[in-house]
């Protein structure tokens, strides 16, 4: 009960890359980079276990960015001639690569880090990848000419990698879809359709993570425009409840999401965000347990998984470590209170 886990990324250590950045530059190259990625993955696996997390991940230590870390392994994408594009429904601008030819995987995208993680933990292992809609919203299209066709093309590649990750021993495969909150009507239709294509044939647990973004200025500014209640989830949670996705990861603690919207996910495991990634203030175990208790009004305890609101990639490492500890201790306290 109350198995706790992460939404995704963790801060990269100083020996691997720049720190406190969402798009850090690697500090080493070649064989040294491979070693540094491995060491960072092992560091965070141990840190998650020490904190008492039940479902651990590689922390996305081998990827500069949660989307582009997958795109690097896709043929048909031009990284040399990036263009400026508004993403997340023009929330902010970014320089993005272009789809210029039929898409296909060059090779396995995440085999190395998945196998390293699997070999070094006995815990359940989660692996995260970008969702099809979010990829489409993070890349320009000079070939397909249709967002839905482009999303399905990426979903097919994600499915290839997901099936291979399952064979590597991954227990949970999660697709990250922050774009769902920017395109709520599309999320309920072709967004979920693309997710279904991405999970075809998987026997492991499948999840989707939908949040309000990392704690960066563009996201914080956007949140201030959303009013007292953030009701974006309401537009697509009913469709997700009917979908084949088994788990839904959402933002809760310190957000303006009405908690009763979790009732719309009846029949799904709900990964409740009990750790605020947009603040350096470390939650107490009591606060974490209180958030779990409030969520229990809307989610059965056997379906509630304490989680972080989003990834912790841009955060200071020491703060992230303390937040992991609060997550683990808070879940343990909740088991005593509500078990």
Distances from the Cα of 318 to the Cα of 89, 137, 336, angstroms = 33, 32, 27
Helix axes 192-199, 147-167, angle to 10 degrees: 30
Q: According to the model, what pLDDT value does residue 227 have?
A: 77
In 131-280, beta strands by DSSP E: 140-141, 172-176, 205-210, 247-250, 269-275
pTM, two decimal places:
0.94
Domains of the chain, start order: 30-338 (3.20.20.210)
> Rounded to the nearest 5 degrees, what angle is found at the Cα of 155, between the Cα atoms of 150 and 157?
100
CA atoms of 324 and 5, how far apart (whole Å) = 9
Where the chain has pLDDT below 70, the residues are 214-216, 218-219, 223
| Residue-level pLDDT at 305 | 98
Q: What is the CB neighbour count within 10 angstroms for residue 325?
A: 18
Residue 294, CA distances (Å) to 39, 114, 121, 192, 285 in order:
38, 35, 32, 28, 14
> Residue 216: its pLDDT value, please?
67
Check residue 195 and give its pLDDT: 98
Token pair recorded at residue 6: 């992460």
Instruction: Give CA 138 to chain center in angstroms.
Output: 15
């Amino acid at each position: 009960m109350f198995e706790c886990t992460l939404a995704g990324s963790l801060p990269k250590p100083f020996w691997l890359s720049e720190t406190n950045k969402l798009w850090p530059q690697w500090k080493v190259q070649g064989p040294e980079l491979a070693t540094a990625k491995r060491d960072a993955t092992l560091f965070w696996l141990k840190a998650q276990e020490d904190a008492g997390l039940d479902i651990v991940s590689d922390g996305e230590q081998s990827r500069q960015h949660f989307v582009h870390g997958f795109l690097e392994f896709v043929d048909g994408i031009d990284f040399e001639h990036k263009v400026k594009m508004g993403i997340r429904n023009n929330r902010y601008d970014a320089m993005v690569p272009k789809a210029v030819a039929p898409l296909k995987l060059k090779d396995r995208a995440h085999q190395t880090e998945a196998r390293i993680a699997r070999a070094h933990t006995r815990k359940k292992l989660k692996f995260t990848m970008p969702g099809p809609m979010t990829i489409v919203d993070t890349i320009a299209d000079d070939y397909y000419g249709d967002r839905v066709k482009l999303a399905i093309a990426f979903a097919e590649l994600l499915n290839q990698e997901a099936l291979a990750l399952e064979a590597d021993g991954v227990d949970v495969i999660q697709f990250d879809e922050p774009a769902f909150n920017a395109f709520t009507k599309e999320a309920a239709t072709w967004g979920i359709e693309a997710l279904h294509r991405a999970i075809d044939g998987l026997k492991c647990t499948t999840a989707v993570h939908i949040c309000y973004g990392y704690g960066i200025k563009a996201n914080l500014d956007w949140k201030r425009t959303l009013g007292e209640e953030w009701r974006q989830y309401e537009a697509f949670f009913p469709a997700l409840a009917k979908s084949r996705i088994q788990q839904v990861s959402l933002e809760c603690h310190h957000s303006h999401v009405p908690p009763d919207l979790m009732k719309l996910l009846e029949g799904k495991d709900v990964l409740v965000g009990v750790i605020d990634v947009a603040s350096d203030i470390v939650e107490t175990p009591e606060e974490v347990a209180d958030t779990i208790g409030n969520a229990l009004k809307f989610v059965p305890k056997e379906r509630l998984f304490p989680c972080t609101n989003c990834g912790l990639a841009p955060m200071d490492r020491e703060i992230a470590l303390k937040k992991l500890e609060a997550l683990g201790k808070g879940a343990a306290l909740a088991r005593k209170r509500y078990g």
